[in-house]
Amino acid sequence: MSLREDITAAVKKSMLARDADRTSALRLIQAKLKDTDIAARPKGVTEVPDDEIFAMMRSMIKSRRDSVVLYRQGGREELAAKEEAEIAVIEEFLPQTLGGEALMDAITTAIAETGASSAKDMGKVIGALKAKHGAALDMGVVSAAVKAALA
């Protein structure tokens, strides 16, 4: 089953369960996916591949995390809780990301394979990581970790 089919099935299931909050979050994902597909049409792509969908979802999560911080600063706990609930729904569709020791092992291996020795080689290392691990990477975390490893 493709990622698109998983999302559609989840929408149907949540509608049948009459879970309005979950249905709303899932429809937000579908709307953003449709926007992403439309934006890719000039490139001759009718449906973006799963790795671009994962990147889109990570972007959605990032913007919601930023909103949570702002809502909490403004004393709007109910809106922060709503954003966090949406984050939880979006994260259900993302693959398990590399983190901790597994991420550091992957970075060490990529540095060795590319022969990187300074921050100038950061692009080569990140390219190697993307090729090998793709959707399992949170690029914000990876970028900082590679930078630290090369420093």
pLDDT in tens, 1-55: 688 889 999 999 999 999 999 999 999 999 999 999 998 888 888 888 887 888 8
Q: How far is CA 79 from CA 4, 32, 44, 52, 61, in A?
A: 28, 20, 39, 28, 15
pLDDT in tens, 76-134: 999 999 999 999 999 888 877 766 777 788 888 887 777 777 777 778 878 887 777 77
For the chain, list the domains and their CATH numbers: 3-91 (1.10.1510.10), 100-150 (1.10.10)
Question: Using an 8 Å Cβ cutoff, are 56 and 32 in contact?
Answer: yes
Torsion of Cα atoms, 40 then 44 then 10 then 82, to 10°: 0
Q: What is the pLDDT of residue 78?
A: 94
